[in-house]
Structure 1
Amino acid sequence: MRSVWVFKSIIVVLLITSQITIIAYSSFTNSVETEFASSNIEIGYSSTRALSPSQGGFTLPKVSESNVIIDGIVSPSEYVVSYVETKTNMLIYWEHDGEILTIGLVSPATGWLAFGIGSEMNNSNMIIGGYASGSNYCVDLVGIDRFHANDTDQAGTDDIIACESTEEATTTTLEFMFPFDSGDSLDSILTVDITYDMFIAFSASDNIIDNHGFRGRSDIMSVFIDSDEYIPELNIEKFDKSIPLVVDSMVTVDGIISAEEYPRSFIDTLTGIDVFWEHNSENFTIGLVAPGTGWVALGIGSNMQDSTMYMGGVENSNTYCVGLDGLENWLHEEDDTNDILECAASETDDETTLEFTIPMNTTDTLDTVLEVQKVYQMFLGYHESSDDRTQIHTAHSDVFTVLVMPKAQSIETFMTFQSETVVEFNETINFEIELSDENGSLTDVPVVFFMESQFGEVILATTSTDTNGKANANYSNPYLLNEHTFGARSLEMVVVKSGEVFAYQSSQQKQEIIFLERIENDDRAEYIRLSRIGLLVVFWIIGIIIWGGFGYVYYQLYQIFKMTNEDIEEIEKIETSAEDTGGI
C-alpha cells in the first residue's frame, strides 16, 4: 500500500507543476501582447489638434449677398470661407446674413452628418442629415443627456429652412439653412458679435441612432459670429473700372474735362460714352462725355428698377442735373431730395459733357450708399438729341462691376515657401514663408496657408508676417496618403503712407508634399515574433516531458488498480522475502 501512496503523491505534484507552467505562459504571452499593442498605438494613433484659421477659434462671417445654392453640392467660391476640422477630417463651409445661418459640411464617409450648437450633448441644438435610399434627409434635434430626440417629439418645431445632401463613393455633403431665432424654446438663439460653442460629427451609418464612435466627433469649437460684412481678397487688377481714391483732387466741376484732370477713365464700347471719375472717401465726382446732344445718365444698381440714377445735360443753354429713382419697364421718377453737390455741363454739335459731385452717403434712404473697398453695379445711358427725360435712351451699356478703391501704387511682393517634402505617417508638417518687396521684409501682411482638395481650396490657417517678414503654421492629418498640394498666399494689402496709397500685390507659392503610409517597426516586430516562437518551443518541450511523465504514472496506477488483493499480497510476500534474504 505504501507504493500506491507514493504514486498518488507524484500525480499531485505533476498536476500542480503543470498548472503553474500554464499560468506562467499565459502571463508572459499577455505581457508580450500588451507591449506589442502599445507599440501600435504609439506609432499609429497619436492625437492631432485641429488647426483653425484664427489659431484658437473659428469665425462665422456675415455676407450681404450670398452665392450659396442649397443643393447638396459645394462648388468653388460658393461660400466665402471654408475650414478643415482635422480631428474628423470634415470640411466646414459657412456664412450668415444676420438672420439665417447657412452651413455646408463634407464628411469622409457615407453616413449621417451632424452640426450642433452647445458645449455638450445635453440641451444642444442639433441638425442631422445625410443621403440614403436615393433621397436626402434632415432632422432638427435636441440633445437629451447623451442622446437626442426630434424637436417635434419634445413639444418643439422643425425649423430647418432648407436642406439638401448628396453622396459620393467615400464622401457625403450636407447643406442647410437655419434661423438665428426660430422661436422654438428648444433651439439656440444666435446673436452677432458673440462667441458660441459648436461641434460637428459624422458616421458611416445612416441610422441616426448609431453613435459616431471614435471616428466622428470634433472637439468643441469656439465660433465667433461676426457682425462686420466679409471683405474678400482685394484684387485690384480684376476691376478695370474701379473708382480711385484721391488725396488732392485736380478736378474742377465746370463741364469741361481737361487732360489728366481725372486719375482714371475708360470708354464704354456699347454706348461710346467716356467715363471719368474719382472719390475722396466722402464725395464721388463723375465726368461723362456722350456722343449726342441730349441727356446723359449714370445708374447705380443691377437694373433699372430700384436703381439710383443721375441725369443731366444742356437745355436751352442751361445746365440741368437731377437725381432719379429707377422704376420697372425703363421708367423713373425724380427723387424728392436733390443730393447733387455740384453740377456743370457743356455741349458741342455732336457731344455732351456732364460733370457732377454727389455724397457717397446722402442719408437719403432711396440713394445707394457707396463705401470704400466694396463692389457695386452700375450702368450708363444717353439720348442722342432729346433732353426730355421721359424719352427712352438711344443706347445703354451693360451692367458693369465697380470697386470703390484707393488709388494705389502697385508694389510687387516676393514669397519664399519652405516645408517638408516627404512626411512620415501622422507626422506634423511645418510651414514657413518669408515675404518681402524690393526694399526688404514686409510686416503685418495677412497670409493664408491652404491645401488643395477635390472640393477646392481648404484654408488651414491665417496669420500675419512678423517683424522679419516671416509667418509660420503647422498641420497634421492621419488620413492623407500619397501626394498633395499645399501652399501659402499673401493677401493684397492697401496702405496709406504720408498721403500716398500703396497696394501690395498678392504672392503665392505651392509645394507638393508626399505622405507615406504607416510603417511598423520591423526590427521590434521581428524580435517579438522570434521571442514568441522560442517560448512556444520551450513550453512544448516542457509540456511533452510533463505530460509524458503524467502518462507513465497514470499507466502504472492503472496497472496497480488492476491487481487483485491476492496479487498485492503476493508482491508484498516477495518484497518481504527479498528483505529477509538480504538480511541473511
Structure 2
Amino acid sequence: MSLYRAKLTKKKYFYILLFISFVFPNLIVQYRGSNTSFYDEIDDAIAGADVRAFFDNSSEALLDGKISVDEYAFSNSFTDSIGDSVEIFVEHNKTHLFFGIITPTTGWAAIGFNDPDVTQGMRNADFKLASVINQVPYAVDAHACNPSCGLSGFGQPLNDSIDNIDAFNGTEDTKMTFEFVFPFNSTDIEDYSFGINSTLTTFVAYANDGDDEFSNQHLAYTSKLELYIIPEQAQTVTKVVTIIELSLSNRELIEGNENFEIIANVTKNDTGLPIEGLLISFYRITSFGKLELGSNLTNTVGIARLQTNFTLYITENVTLLGESSFKIEGSDQYLEAKAFLTVKYISTHLEEENNPDFGNIYDPFQLNYLVPALTLAGAFLSLVIIWASFLYVIKSLFSIIFEKNDLDGS
C-alpha cells in the first residue's frame, strides 16, 4: 500500500511541474511585455523632447563658466525670437540638474522653467538669472510675477525667499556663458519642482549688450522648449541610440527591375551628429519575412548607399528596411536601430493582364494570404494543445486526490 502511495506522490509532483512549465513562461512573457511598454513610453518622450537631460553620475561639468565639447551629455542650439542662436547644455545626476547656456550678447541672461500645460510660458515661471559685472559673475533665484502683484507683464522677476542655486559660474567675452546646478525638488514653494521621467517647459531669455539690470526687459527669448528628464535605467540605451532615415536617390517610386539606390542617413540620437563606419543592412519586407538586398558602411557624413533591383509581377507598395546592430561601448549589450520606407513598385510584366491563367502559375496574392493563414492555424493548434494538456493535468490531479481519499478510507 505504501509503495502505491509513493507512486501517486511521484505522479502528483510530475503533474504539478508540468502545470508550472505551462503557466510560468506565460508570466515571463507578461512581465517582459510590461517592461517593454515602459521603454516605449521613454522612447516617445525622448523623441518629442527638444532638450534631453541624460543621467550622468560622473558629470564632467566643471562649473568654471566655460563649456567645452562633450562637457555635458546633451547640447544643442536653438533660434531665438530675433533670429540669433542660443546654446543649451544639460544633464542630471538623479537629484540635481546641471544646466549651461551661451547667449549672443553681453547682457543678463536667464533660464526659465514651467509646467508644460501653461500657455503663457512666463506666467508664474521659475527663473535662474545671471550676469557678469566687472568680470564677477552673479546669479539670482527668482520667479515671475503674475498680474495680481500689480506689476506689468507676466515676466517681471521677483527674488525667491530662498536661494536654491547650489553652484554657479559665468564668463563674459563677446557672449555670455553661464552654468548652474540646482535641485529637482527644493523646499522653496516659489521654485518649480520636477523629477525623474518628467516633462517640463524651459526657455532662455537675454538682454542687450551691457545691460545687467534684471528688472529691464529682455531683448530676445527662445520659444517654449520641451525638457525631458530621462530615467537612469534608460540611459545606456537612449544615449547611444542612432536615428536612421531611408530614402531613394532622385526618385519616388521603383519601376520594373531597373536599378535604384537606397540611401540611409545615420545620426546620433543625442547630438544629431553623423555616425561613420556603421554597417547598414538593407531588406525588402515580404510575406515570408525579411529578404536581404545588401549592405554597406556609412561614410564620413553618416550616409550608406546601396544599388540594387528586384522583380515583382504585380504593381504594389513595397516596404524597404534599413537596420543596424551595434554594441554599447563598455558593455555586452547590443542595440538595434532601424527605419522603414514604403514606396510604390510599378511592374513591367503584363502577362497577368494578357494571360488569365498566369495567376494560377504564380500568384503573389495567394501566397500573401496563405502564409498568414498557416501561421494562424499553427497558433490555434498550439493553443488547443496547451489547453488540452492543462485540462489533462487538472483532471489527473483530481484523480490523484480521489484515489488518495479512497486509499485512506480503505
Q: TM bucket by the smaller chain? A: 0.3 to 0.5
* TM-score computed with the length of structure 2 as normaliser: 0.45
* TM-score computed with the length of structure 1 as normaliser: 0.33
* Bigger fraction of residues in helix: 2
Q: Which of 1 and 2 has greater Rg?
A: 1
Greater RCO structure (CA 8 Å; 6+ sep)? 2
